DNA sequence: AACGCGGGGGA
DNA sequence: TCCCCAGCGTT
């Protein structure tokens, strides 16, 4: 007898029991968010882990918790400070959503996390899986999750064909996830299936010999481990071109805040023009004067999922603009951008480090330890 | 150089 | 209900 929707012949409890036994011996039990488990800590870790692997997330999580120990601290912070702690993680909309959701939790729920999944899903940045993860991991509630690791484990174990982004595949996987989630030890089971996906049932080379559910894994039986889950159909990536102006004035380097949404939304970066030829004109129009000189740096490529960005950095030196400086909202001159507490995109950080190093060598001050003291 | 990750939002 | 968007690290 098989279950109609899931196609499972086995009892769900058997799958969970094998996973839990494996988890007790081989799972991860010392991750920072597994200590002092609260909905807030689970939430922040889940959002960070959506886009980044555990090893990278840990230091970000520690710094974030040190600065924003609870939902009230996060709600009371400025967006700039939240994005500063998110700098380098990518997907900055999630940092902004985290901040907004914290404010809604304080405003609508006095900072207490609601226990209804639908209420959590109404918060920005929290969908079905993240809501379920918060409730299951921090409260042991009977909720099924379906993150990337779980999708991979289930698609393989039941040999589910098709890209997991397709509606029919999603539906099937959610049905499987709910069917297999046990009534007892839900938090451990949830962590167990994520751990299995992260450490054994990996994307590249699954270690089937170490898998507690390999016996009845249909992908393994059919030799499909490495071809499932079916990859997303891929499209050709367009190229975009941009010229970043690294403008050096007496007060430091000019940074502008980007629009609140879109690419690197809310972060700070260099002024941009379409081509090197427009650099002088931009300075004339925006700073009220010609640059003393400018010099193109080595161009490089920054790759996104959907396009590749060719970046040509140009160093521009301007004289004391003597009142010509426009200290408008969203524009600022910084000497030490690392201390400014601003969110910076990865290529901006890279360029700032690069020119700091170059200038240090030119000035012969490279022997000084910047971090000393 | 390709790929994955969960959710938001517009068509 | 599609379909597109986003930014890094990993492989």
pLDDT tens digits, one per residue of A184-238: 999 999 999 999 998 999 888 899 999 999 999 999 999 888 888 888 876 666 7
CA separation for the pair A44, A23 (Å, rounded):
23
What residue is closest to C10 (Cα–C1')?
A: A53
For position A362, what pLDDT does the model report? 60
- Residue A367 belongs to some domain of the structure: no
With a cut of 50, list the residues of chain A below it in pLDDT. Answer: 1, 4, 322-324, 364-373
Rounded Cα gap, residues A39 and A254, in angstroms: 40
Q: Which of A10, A46, A290, A295 is catalytic?
A: A46
Q: Is residue A368 part of a domain?
A: no
Considering the domain architecture, whether residues A319 and A181 belong to the same structural domain is answered as no
Residue lying closest to nucleotide B5, CA to C1': A51
Separation of alpha carbons A42 and A23, rounded Å: 19
Spatial distance between the Cα atoms of A133 and A141, rounded to a whole number of angstroms: 9
Q: Does residue A163 contact residue A231 with C-beta atoms inside 8 Å?
A: yes
User: A140 and A66 in one domain?
Assistant: yes
For strand C, the positions having any atom within 7 A of a protein Cβ are 1-2, 4-11
Same domain, A99 and A30: yes
CATH number at residue A297: 3.90.79.10
Domain with A143, as residue range(s), is: 12-221
Q: Would residue A46 show up in a list of annotated catalytic residues for this protein?
A: yes
Residues A318, A294: Cα–Cα separation, whole Å: 9
- Asked if strand C comes closer than 7 Å to A93 Cβ, the answer is yes
**pLDDT digit string (tens) for A334-373?**
887 666 688 888 888 888 888 877 777 665 443 333 332 2
- The last residue of one of the domains, among A194, A221, A248, is A221
Instruction: Please work out, in degrees rounded to the nearest 5, the angle formed at the alpha carbon of residue A172 by the alpha carbons of A166 and A176.
Output: 140
Per-residue CB contacts under 7 A with strand C, chain A residues 53-72? 53, 55-56
Asked, for residue A162, whether it belongs to a domain, the answer is yes
Crossing angle of helices A54-67 and A79-86, rounded to 10°: 150
């Amino acid at each position: 007898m098989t279950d109609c929707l899931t196609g499972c012949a086995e009892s769900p409890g058997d799958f969970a029991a094998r996973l839990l036994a494996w988890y007790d011996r081989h799972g991860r039990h010392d991750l920072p968010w597994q200590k002092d488990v609260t909905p807030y800590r689970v939430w922040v870790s889940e959002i960070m882990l959506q886009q980044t692997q555990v090893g990278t997330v840990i230091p970000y999580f520690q710094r974030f918790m040190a600065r924003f120990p609870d939902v009230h601290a996060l709600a009371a912070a400025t967006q700039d400070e939240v994005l500063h702690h998110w700098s380098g993680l990518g997907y900055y909309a999630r940092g902004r959503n985290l901040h907004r959701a914290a404010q809604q939790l304080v405003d609508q729920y006095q900072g207490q996390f609601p226990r209804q999944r639908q209420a959590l899903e109404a918060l920005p940045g929290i969908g079905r899986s993240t809501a379920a993860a918060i409730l299951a991991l921090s409260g042991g509630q009977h909720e099924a999750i379906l993150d990337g690791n779980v999708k991979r484990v289930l698609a393989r174990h039941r040999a589910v064909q098709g890209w997991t982004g397709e509606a029919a595949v999603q539906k099937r996987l959610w049905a499987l996830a709910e069917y297999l989630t046990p009534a007892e030890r839900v938090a451990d089971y949830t962590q167990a299936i994520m751990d299995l996906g992260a450490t054994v049932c990996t994307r590249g080379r699954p270690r089937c010999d170490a898998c507690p559910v390999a016996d009845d894994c249909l992908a393994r039986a059919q030799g499909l481990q490495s071809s499932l889950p079916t990859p997303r159909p891929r499209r050709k990536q367009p190229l975009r071109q941009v010229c970043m102006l690294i403008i050096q004035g007496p007060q430091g380097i000019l940074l502008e805040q980007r629009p609140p949404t879109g690419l690197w939304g809310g972060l700070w970066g260099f002024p941009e023009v379409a081509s090197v030829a427009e650099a002088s004109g931009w300075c004339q129009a925006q700073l009220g004067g010609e640059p003393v000189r400018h010099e193109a740096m080595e161009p490089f490529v920054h790759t996104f999922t959907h396009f590749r960005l060719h970046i040509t950095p140009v160093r521009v030196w301007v004289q004391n603009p003597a009142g010509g400086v426009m200290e408008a909202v969203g524009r600022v001159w910084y000497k030490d951008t690392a201390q400014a507490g601003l969110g910076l995109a990865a290529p901006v950080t890279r360029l700032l480090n690069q020119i700091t190093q170059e200038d240090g060598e030119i000035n012969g001050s490279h022997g000084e330890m910047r971090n000393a003291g």
